[in-house]
């Protein structure tokens, strides 16, 4: 595996023209967690590369490949460990990330928490799996240091209360998160038990915030009011309680993903340039009244992603496109998903969006 990763990296060096756009500002050299190469490692041409080059290469590796590389020697582990935990996106359950083991690692390694910039995943991990016999421990060692045996070899060894304590500890100490999104629907914003997490999040300086709202009773306005630098906001299909949102709140918002009801409250007067429409089950799509709300953005709106559900006739769709052209004159990119049937001629007739429309 180490030889394969080394060849992959050397191939990447030969093809690397410019570093990752976000690389320069995402991995400042950290001497606290990093040591120099050992004497026997200095003969490696790969280790002799400048740290900035190695870190740029690491930015182009997948999470799994980077994990394999940092297991090859202590130097790469000390060099790449911070990079590995800097951006944690485990929001897609199909990828099979062991979130329970991740939370366990973070709770046992508080020195890593200040380096987390992105976290997208569950607030709580319901179970943590541990080897329960010498046989499973032996299998784990054969798989390699830091590699988890298959989950079938584990038994549940932690209660919800332990998971709760881990989550409270992690997210009250990860003070440098800029991109945050919890995916498990935990009512942390209104539940007094989560007060340490709520207070910690209000002290963060977020630029990206994703709120999975599961009930209209969830209070989210205090969280938004605490984020004056927020640029990207994602809300779920359950409408949020936004009645107390002031005109001066979230003044730098550029991108919004929300229902029509929430967008009608948030967009006017704010520099929103991009709107992703979250279609509720009972909604059919945009109408002229709502498009007028979008036109009140100080952005103005240049990107619109929306859906039409069972359009009644072709004329109604054509009229909506004309409304877009009239009320959103700066619109450059329109993604229109039609649930039902529509003639392609309608889209081509509206030449204003001919090059930018997707169906």
Angle, helices 2-15 vs 51-59, to 10°: value is 100
CB atoms near residue 128 (< 10 Å)? 21
| Backbone φ, ψ for residue 344 (5° rounding) | -65, -20
> What is the per-residue pLDDT for 14?
44
Q: 155 — phi, psi (to 5°)?
A: -125, 155
Q: Decide: 44 and 11 in contact? Cβ < 8 Å.
A: no
Of the candidates 230, 282, 239, the residue with the CA atom closest to the CA atom of residue 264: 239
- Rounded to 10 degrees, the C-alpha dihedral 240/241/247/250 comes to -50
pLDDT, mean of each 10-residue run, the chain (359 residues): 49 43 42 54 73 86 82 84 88 73 91 94 65 42 41 36 89 95 82 88 96 80 95 90 92 96 94 93 79 94 86 74 91 84 65 47
**pTM to 2 decimals?**
0.75
Q: What pLDDT is recorded for position 38? A: 59
β-strand 333-339 against 154-156: which pairing, if any? unpaired
User: For residues 307 and 141, what is the distance between their CA atoms, to the nearest angstrom?
Assistant: 51
- The alpha-carbon radius of gyration of the chain (Å, integer) is 24
State the pLDDT at residue 293.
94
9, containing H or E segment: helix 2-15
Tokens found for residue 71: 């297991």
Give CB contacts under 8 A, 24+ apart, made by 99-105: 99/125, 100/125, 100/126, 100/127, 100/128, 100/129, 100/158, 100/163, 101/128, 101/129, 101/148, 103/128, 103/163, 103/166, 103/167, 103/170, 104/128, 104/166
At 232 the three-state DSSP class reads strand
């Amino acid at each position: 595996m180490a030889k394969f990763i080394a060849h992959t990296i050397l191939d990447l060096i030969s093809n690397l023209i410019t570093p990752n756009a976000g690389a320069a500002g995402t991995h400042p050299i950290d001497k606290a967690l990093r040591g120099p190469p050992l004497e026997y490692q200095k003969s490696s041409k790969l280790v002799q590369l400048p740290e900035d080059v190695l870190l740029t290469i690491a930015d182009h590796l997948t999470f799994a490949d980077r994990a394999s590389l940092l297991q090859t020697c202590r130097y790469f582990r000390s060099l790449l460990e911070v990079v590995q935990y800097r951006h944690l996106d485990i929001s897609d359950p199909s990828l099979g990330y062991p979130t329970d083991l991740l939370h366990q690692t973070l709770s046992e390694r508080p020195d890593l928490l200040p380096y987390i910039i992105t976290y997208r995943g569950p607030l709580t991990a319901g179970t943590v799996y541990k080897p329960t016999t010498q046989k499973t421990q032996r299998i784990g060692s054969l798989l390699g240091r830091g590699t988890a045996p298959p989950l079938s070899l584990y038994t549940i060894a932690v209660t919800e209360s332990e998971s709760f304590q881990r989550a409270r500890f992690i997210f009250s100490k990860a003070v440098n998160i800029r991109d945050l999104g919890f995916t498990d629907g935990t009512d942390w914003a209104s539940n007094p038990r989560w007060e340490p997490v709520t207070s910690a999040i209000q002290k963060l300086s977020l630029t990206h915030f994703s709120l999975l709202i599961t009930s209209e009773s969830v209070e989210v306005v205090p969280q938004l009011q605490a984020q004056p630098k927020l640029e990207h906001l994602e809300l779920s299909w359950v409408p949020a309680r936004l009645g107390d949102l002031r005109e001066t709140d979230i003044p730098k918002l550029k991108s919004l993903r929300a229902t029509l009801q929430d967008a009608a409250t948030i967009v006017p007067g704010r520099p929103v340039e991009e709107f992703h429409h979250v279609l509720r089950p009972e909604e059919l799509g945009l109408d002229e009244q709502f498009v007028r709300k979008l036109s009140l953005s100080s952005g103005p709106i240049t990107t619109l992603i929306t859906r039409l559900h069972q359009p009644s006739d072709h004329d109604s769709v054509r009229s909506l496109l004309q409304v877009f052209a009239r009320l959103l004159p700066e619109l450059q990119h329109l993604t229109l998903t039609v649930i039902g049937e529509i003639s392609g001629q309608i889209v081509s007739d509206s030449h204003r969006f001919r090059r930018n429309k997707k169906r």
